[in-house]
Amino acid sequence: MRLHRLPKLLQRLLPHTEWRGPAPEGKKPLYLTFDDGPIPEQTPFVLEQLACHDARATFFCVGENLEKHPKVAQQALAAGHRLANHTYHHVSGWRLPDADYLAEVEQCQQALEHLTGVPEKQPLLRPPYGRITRAQAAALHPTYRLIMWDVLTYDYDATYPADVCLKAALAHTRPGSIVVFHDSQKAQRNLRAVLPRYLEACAAAGYSFEAL
């Protein structure tokens, strides 16, 4: 069973987290996000597709990928996109002691700030897999905005047919949705088949694409 949107009851189990973005009356913003990059095999493709629609997005970056591929990350920055924290080694908060998880977040944030040269006042963090404990969230919340999602596309699921992936993503999309794609090798097939058509359909429906 694929839950493209978690029920509000489950969302409330994690205080201090954000599941949707602002949607002023009469506006139709979408907040596209891309997890797990940057990598040279997939991130430039995403940047090309976004540029076709003058779209801005947020890239939740794995710290070790930032350090391996700084030029790819700089391409995203130069195009007006935002880079954000996805821990240094893409770790689950459920599997690490709190101190180790917080160290992973800090290591990734240092890599981000080294790349951009600008310390952020309120950086963004998305926990890999959405897995973070209440204690970890409480410890991070004073410094970070903890960003979850309103639409999970499941583009990374190789068993998920691209046409079904697209149809489900569009069906759950609404103004203010934070939408998760992945600029990763695992998501390559669905990312390349779904993202261009998703952007086209949403643009035709009057949506704008904003960074968080």
Residues with catalytic roles: 35, 182
Q: Rounded to the nearest 5°, which phi and psi values hold at 10? A: -70, -35
Q: CA 63 to CA 19: how far, in whole Å?
A: 23
The packing angle between helices 43-52 and 70-78, to 10°, is: 10
Q: First CA to last CA across the chain, in angstroms?
A: 29
Residue in 30, 82, 27 with CA at minimum distance from that of residue 53? 30
